[in-house]
Chain A
Amino acid sequence: EIVMTQSPATLSVSPGERATLSCRASQSIKSDLAWYQQKPGQAPRLLMFGASTRATGTPDRFSGGGSGTEFTLTISSLQSEDFAVYYCQQYNKWPPWTFGQGTKVEIK
């Protein structure tokens, strides 16, 4: 099973600032990585796939990077609606499909 590890657990950022979230895979997953955003009481929403491709409706202030075992999700200028929990997920080797434990982006 591929283990996904996200850091930090919580990121405190002021509106308008840049946020960088990290995700590490326990073995190479090439670019088979997705990012999701989840707000309280809601289902997760797909943000990015293929490590760097925005899903339909994802604003261009979100960008993804990395390959192999190290990945990042960057939010260039945080808006109020971006404060949420973000999860990475690998789909290179399955089953199981595995998620990171999440990074909470909170208002500083």
Chain B
Amino acid sequence: GQNIDQPTEMTATEGAIVQINCTYQTSGFNGLFWYQQHAGEAPTFLSYNVLDGLEEKGRFSSFLSRSKGYSYLLLKELQMKDSASYLCAVMDSNYQLIWGAGTKLIIKP
């Protein structure tokens, strides 16, 4: 079956760096997405990786290793507004998104 694993919850301090890991097993691979979702809102797109390596976008970076079925989202210079759930999703061979359960990130002052 298809499976996406990510930690349920993480806590970090304002101004620090946090890495959220995601491992996956899917039928085919057409890219991995990271989304941010604040409570009561729809997800917003953060990043997309389809080739191995690191994609950097401002304070956020995302890494992919297809051979290991592994990705991480790196958030730097954490701000209180970064408190949210972070969803890892893989697009399978049918171009459907397979979603992880999300990681709730709590930022403390």
Do the two shown chains form a genuine complex with each other?
no
Give residues in A with beta carbon < 8 Å to B: none
